[in-house]
Every structure is written in structure tokens, then in C-alpha cells.
Amino acid sequence: MKSRLKMLFAGLLIILLFAAMDTFNHEKPRILILHSYTETGKWEQAVNEGINRELAKNRTPISILWHYMAFTDQAGKTDWDDASKQARHVIKTFRPDILVPIGEEAQEYVGRHYVNDPHMRIIYATSEHPSHFRYPEADNVTGIREILPLAQITEVLHYLRQPTLRIRVLGMDDATGQSEREQVKDFLWAPNHLVDVQLVSNFDAWKAAVHAANQDADVLIVLSYNGLPLSATDTHPVDNKLLATWTEHESKPLVIGVRVPFAAGGGALAVVPSAEGIGAQIGKRILTLLALPPGGALPRGNDSQDFLIALRPERLAERKFSLPAIYIQAARASHTLFE
């Protein structure tokens, strides 16, 4: 009889323990990190490293979930609608206190649907202007806008030692390219002259734009191009390495990319927003929100701050263009020196 009572008592303790653990887990602040792309992407991994580095400083219990919408360049509207439904199902099930949508697609298909949701706060990370998603007027939204390091690019241009430079800018005609074009047009380039910002829909048009830049530009800035179709009739994406190498070889003006794959693929130089830096800003913002009292006002959105230098010294030498040694060391430190 006593042994049976002991067993019942032990069973009751186990049930109570699990109930207490379940209650504890549900009381912990829940954070959902929502990426547009896949978990294997280098940019996504770098963002995650920055987030985790800051969250490692946290001393209060939290529950964190990572979800990837798995965007691909061949995805159509139906695919995106399905990815949106799946992400919103995860949100309904997990019930995050803080939602962190990262990338333009995560804002468009998910984040914007939770503007002014009283049960959730949002920390966005996107290169598009937050107003595109009605974020600035929302009470529950803050975040980080990825800004192209255009000021740092103009610093690099000083080493061309010309008083005024003619600048052309070339990118891919998609949501990312359009937001990047907006930033380029809003930037004050004086005393240099911005000739044009051109977005193209395929590699054939890209080639024509590069050859046109040879006629009236001193500098060609290359925006994002991942997934650019080969032609109007062939929608397969051009190989990024092929595009970078072809552009570097065919362009008479100095080419400066704004993404690491341009230099990794054969380009001479890229000045790039730091994905890990953006992740660190997100992580700090999460900690700020966790410390806010109920009903506290969210901090205003900020621009990204950090940037990387990616370069190929051999290609720069072929162009007879030299940069101070600190640029080489900066690229080496960030593992973006390609020799």
C-alpha cells in the first residue's frame, strides 16, 4: 500500500513538474526570427551570427525560434503566397512577443500584416524604406534599414584623384534593386556627377548597359544582381561568377560592387553593408525591447552602420588603382580579401 502511494506521489510530482515547465516556457518572452531566404545563405548566416553575439549578453530566460521562408529566384507569386501562409501559421502557433522579419519579402508577405498588432512588437530589417510597409506610423514597430555604404564609396573615389567623376549605377530590376536605386538617387554625390541609375531585367540588357557606360562614365557602381535571368527568352539565372568576371573585364570605368559576391566572383572591389553588423543591431534592439516596461514607447528605426571592404589586389593593380594598406588589412580581417 505504501509503495503504491509512493508511486502515485512520484507520478503526481512528475506531472506537476512538467506543468510547471510548460507554464515557465509560455511565460518566457517568445522571439521569432523570420528570414526571407534559406538558412544556408552566407548573408543569413552572418546576420544570425550578429544576432546571437548580442543575445549571448542576455541574462533573462527567452524562447527563440528561427523560420526561413526559403525564397528562391525561381519562386512565383503562388510560391510566395504558400510561404506566407506557412510563416503566418508559425506565428499563430508560436505566438511571438517579438517578430523579426528580415528581408524585403518577409516584410511584404508577413511583417506588414501585423502593423499595430497589440500582442506583438516588430523589429524589421530591410533595405526598402519602412514607409513601404506602413511601419513609421505604427506603435509596435521599430527596426534597422540596410543602407548602402555610399559615403564610404565616395571616400574610395578620392583615390582616383580626379576633381569630378561621372558615375553610372547598374542593378537588377527587382524589389531589392528598386530600393537600392532609391538610396542612390537620394544620396548627394557632389562634386561628382551621377549620370544615371539603370535597372535591367536580364543579362543581355546588363551587357548593353556596361558597354554604354564605357562611353560616358569614369565609375560604374554595381548593385545587387543575384538571380538575374540570362535573356528575355531564357529565365535561367546567370552564374554570379560569370557576371562579375565579365563585368570586370568589359568595363573601362572602375567597377565597385555593393555585395561581397561581386569581388568573390572576380570583381576588383566592393564596399558592402555588413550583414553581421546588421544582425548585431537587431540583437541589441531585441534586448532593448525585452527591457521595456509594458506599454513603453519603442525606439525609432535606425540605419545600418557597419560596412565591409572586399577586394582583389591583382585586379586593382591591373587597373593601376591603388588603395591605402588599411583597406587591404580591413578586407583580410573580414575574410573578404581574394588573392
- 286: how many CB neighbours lie within 10 A of its CB? 23
Whether the predicted pLDDT of 217 surpasses 80: yes
pLDDT one-digit tens code per residue, 82-94: 999 999 999 999 9
Whether the predicted pLDDT of 228 surpasses 50: yes
DSSP string across 157-205: HGGG--SS-EEEEEEESSHHHHHHHHHHHHS--TTSEEEEEEEESSHHH
Three-state SS at 103: coil
Contact 184, 221 (CB under 8 A): yes
**What is the model's pLDDT at position 26?**
52
DSSP string across 2-63: HHHHHHHHHHHHHHHHHHHHHHHHHHS-EEEEEESS-TT-HHHHHHHHHHHHHHTT--S--E
* Segment 143-170 mean pLDDT: 96
pLDDT one-digit tens code per residue, 163-208: 999 999 999 998 889 989 999 999 999 999 999 999 999 999 999 9
